[in-house]
């Protein structure tokens, strides 16, 4: 499809949407004209504006292309974008270079497709179709729309589940639509704008993030106030670390750390309902203890084995170590019973969050927390944020393949790091001379030859897995927690020695290898910290 000449200046460029809602301090044509001037001076190539008055004022100060729209309350009581030919005519008469209209299913029911043809033929300007789905885009393009815009995705009954910018939708739209695509809607940062162009957008419309001072100020104010509230709150959070053997739980204050802690046996093999009943009892017990201690509880966090969809609080996948746990909507179930905010996270991820708030991770933006115990887990922070992955399956450190077709792992694969660096593996390397992994560690650090040899074998395998992480993520630090990492300085010496050989540009990395300072109840701190973030940042 050929590009109308007036639109060529917009290709690969920013379009600023200069609009203000009713009762906004800037809701007047003169302010919109100044916003447009500022946006154009900053590099915008075009303007999207609402109503003839604003367009007329903007046209007086610029020759840049203007996309005109008219928002009016329509017959069904809701706002419709350019719902009549007369409105389009008034926009063009005021100075609009092109007209955009609602071409969603709802817009089509009010004659949008016929209006596209009429505007092009009678007014002689390009027509842009605001849509929410690919089917709507195809219908609009078939009616003659010069461009399709993702403006209304997330704002229709069919797409109201969409709350964030979707570059994947822009890509699908660009591949399917015969008309060029302009990305608009939920774009709040330069990085998202770049993603839109990378996905195939002709140009990008940004509004609130540029031209709504009240909304911009509000976003900063909320971020500051929430972080201050989290740092200075006198309220406590319940943290529950659901382990395969024991459930550790307690009360956590951001200022004071753990103010109460204990543990009980986990009914791990008893099935889903027994685990849920167990969590409810622990939560109720913690609420009662908080009341006795005079604390107000702000929320509950649960750290559990298995991969967790932290947005919904549902277990995305768990092994049969916790039978029937896959798919369990833990947050919804607990929230109904205990009636406080609930957040759920994978246990290894939660430990990384604990390090970020209370432990060795506070000084780093990029670090990997690795747990060494019955199994091997991990949590990775990248540029200051926990990396969860597209499907919440990230940070499966224990399942990095280090030995091709090696020992079987409980995940169903072979050769995983966990099979070579858990407590049973350390005992295996030590032969029959020791009864526990802790005994091997004590003996190795005391100089016992058999134990030292076993720890060296363990450390060599661990270095192989860590080297993969270093080459992939380039962290500032590796932070180790769990029973095998505590009181074990020899392990860190061995790891440093082998990583120096196995990792390229070793000296330039200046990697720090640190034991966690959080101890046995680190998972409780992590679960509580997850709840803090859920409430104060979510």
pLDDT in tens, 5-60: 999 999 999 999 999 888 888 889 999 999 999 999 999 999 999 999 999 999 99
318 is written with which tokens? Answer: 């768990």
The continuous run of DSSP H or E covering 254 comes out as none
State residue 214's pLDDT score: 80
The verdict on domain 5-211 having CATH code 3.40.50.620 is no
55 is written with which tokens? Answer: 């367009």
Which residues, 6+ apart, have CB-to-CB distance to 133 below 8 Å?
104, 153, 156, 158, 159
Which residue has tokens 């916790």?
322
Percent of the chain with pLDDT over 70: 100
Residue 321 has pLDDT above 80, yes or no: no
Under 8 Å between Cβ of 341 and 532: no
How far apart, in Å, do the first and last CA atoms of the chain sit? Answer: 43
Chosen CATH of 235-350+524-536 out of 2.40.50.420, 3.30.420.40, 1.10.3720.10, 3.30.1540.20: 3.30.420.40
Query: pLDDT tens digits, residue range 153-192?
Result: 999 999 999 989 999 999 999 999 999 999 999 999 999 9
The whole-chain average pLDDT of the chain stands at 93
Write a three-state SS string for 348-363. Answer: HHHHHHHHHHHCHHHH
Please state the rounded mean pLDDT for residues 309-316: 90
State residue 357's pLDDT score: 93
Where helices occur in 19-133 by DSSP H, the ranges are: 29-41, 52-59, 85-94, 105-109, 112-118
For residue 85, how many C-alpha atoms fall within 13 Å in the half-sphere facing its CB? 13
On the question of a common fold for 235-350+524-536 and 360-517, the answer reads: yes
User: Distance between CA atoms of 350 and 336, rounded to whole angstroms?
Assistant: 23
Percent of the chain with pLDDT over 90: 80
- Report which of 28, 33, 20 is spatially closest to residue 60, judged by C-alpha positions: 33
User: Distance between CA atoms of 112 and 66, rounded to whole angstroms?
Assistant: 20
The continuous run of DSSP H or E covering 430 comes out as helix 423-430
Binned at pLDDT 50, 70 and 90, residue 211 comes out as confident
Binned at pLDDT 50, 70 and 90, residue 525 comes out as very high
User: Distance between CA atoms of 67 and 340, rounded to whole angstroms?
Assistant: 47
Residue 296 has pLDDT above 70, yes or no: yes
- Going by their DSSP bridges, the two strands 46-50 and 66-69 should be labelled as parallel
- Report which of 334, 314, 337, 338 is spatially closest to residue 326, judged by C-alpha positions: 314
Letter string b/e over residues 255-280, b meaning 16 or more CB atoms within 10 A of that residue's CB: eeebebbebeebebeeebeebbebbe
Domain boundaries, the chain: 5-211, 235-350+524-536, 360-517
User: Distance between CA atoms of 473 and 366, rounded to whole angstroms?
Assistant: 8
Which residue has tokens 């798919």?
327
State residue 1's pLDDT score: 66
Please state the rounded mean pLDDT for residues 425-451: 93
User: Distance between CA atoms of 30 and 37, rounded to whole angstroms?
Assistant: 11
State residue 17's pLDDT score: 94
User: Distance between CA atoms of 224 and 536, rounded to whole angstroms?
Assistant: 10
- Report which of 291, 268, 290, 295 is spatially closest to residue 279, judged by C-alpha positions: 268
pTM of the model: 0.74
Under 8 Å between Cβ of 426 and 484: yes
Query: pLDDT tens digits, residue range 363-401?
Result: 999 999 999 998 899 999 999 999 999 888 899 999 999
State residue 187's pLDDT score: 93
138 is written with which tokens? Answer: 């195809």
Chosen CATH of 360-517 out of 3.30.450.40, 3.40.50.300, 3.30.420.40, 1.10.3720.10: 3.30.420.40
For residue 429, the SS3 value is helix
Letter string b/e over residues 513-538, b meaning 16 or more CB atoms within 10 A of that residue's CB: ebbbebeebbbbbbbbbbbbbbbbee
State residue 227's pLDDT score: 75
Q: Is 360 left (phi over 0), alpha (psi -120 to 50) or beta?
A: alpha
């Amino acid at each position: 499809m050929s590009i109308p000449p007036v639109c060529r200046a917009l290709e690969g460029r920013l379009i600023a949407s200069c609009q203000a809602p009713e009762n906004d301090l800037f809701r007047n044509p003169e302010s919109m004209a100044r916003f447009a001037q500022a946006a154009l001076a900053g590099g915008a190539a075009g303007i999207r504006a609402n109503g003839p008055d604003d367009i007329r004022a903007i046209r007086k100060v610029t020759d840049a292309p203007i996309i005109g729209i008219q928002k009016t309350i329509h017959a069904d009581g809701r706002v419709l974008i350019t719902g009549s030919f007369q409105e389009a005519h008034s926009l063009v008469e005021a100075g609009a270079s092109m007209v955009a209209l609602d071409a969603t299913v709802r817009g089509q029911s009010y004659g949008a497709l016929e209006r596209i043809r009429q505007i092009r033929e009678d007014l002689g300007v390009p027509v842009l179709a605001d849509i929410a789905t690919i089917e709507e885009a195809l219908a609009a393009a078939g009616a003659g729309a010069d461009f399709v815009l993702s403006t209304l995705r997330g704002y229709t009954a069919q797409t109201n589940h969409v709350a964030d910018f979707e570059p994947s939708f822009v890509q699908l739209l660009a591949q399917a639509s015969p008309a060029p695509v302009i990305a608009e809607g939920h774009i709040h940062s330069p990085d998202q704008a770049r993603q839109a162009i990378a996905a195939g957008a002709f140009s990008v419309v940004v509004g609130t993030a540029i031209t709504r001072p009240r909304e911009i100020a509000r976003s900063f104010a909320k971020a500051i106030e929430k972080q201050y509230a989290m740092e200075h709150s006198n309220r406590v959070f319940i943290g529950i670390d659901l382990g395969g053997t024991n459930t550790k739980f307690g009360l956590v204050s951001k200022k004071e750390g753990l103010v109460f802690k204990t543990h009980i046996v986990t009914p791990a093999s008893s099935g889903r309902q027994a685990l849920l009943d167990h969590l409810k009892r622990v939560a109720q017990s913690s609420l009662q203890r908080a009341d006795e201690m005079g604390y107000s509880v702000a929320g509950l966090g649960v750290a559990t084995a298995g991969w967790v969809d932290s947005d919904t609080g549902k277990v995305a996948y768990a092994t049969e170590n916790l039978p029937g746990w896959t798919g369990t909507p833990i947050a919804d179930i607990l929230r109904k019973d205990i009636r406080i905010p609930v957040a759920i996270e994978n246990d290894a991820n939660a430990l990384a969050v604990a390090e970020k708030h209370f432990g060795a991770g506070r000084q780093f933006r990029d670090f990997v927390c690795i747990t060494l115990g019955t199994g091997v887990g991990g949590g990775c922070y990248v540029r200051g944020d926990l990396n969860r992955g597209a499907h919440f399956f990230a940070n499966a450190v224990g399942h990095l393949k280090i030995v091709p077709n090696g020992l079987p792992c409980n995940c169903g694969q072979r050769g995983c790091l966990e099979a070579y660096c858990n407590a049973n593996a350390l005992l295996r390397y030590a032969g029959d001379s020791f009864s526990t992994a802790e005994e091997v560690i004590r003996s190795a650090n005391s100089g016992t030859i058999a134990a030292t040899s076993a720890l060296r074998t363990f450390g060599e395998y661990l270095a192989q897995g860590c080297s993969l992480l270093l080459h992939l993520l380039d962290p500032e630090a590796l932070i180790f927690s769990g029973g095998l990492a505590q009181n074990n300085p020899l392990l860190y010496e061995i790891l440093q020695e082998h990583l120096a050989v196995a990792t390229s540009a070793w000296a330039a990395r200046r990697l720090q290898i640190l034991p966690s300072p959080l101890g046995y109840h680190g998972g409780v701190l992590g679960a509580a910290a997850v709840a803090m973030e859920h409430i104060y940042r979510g």
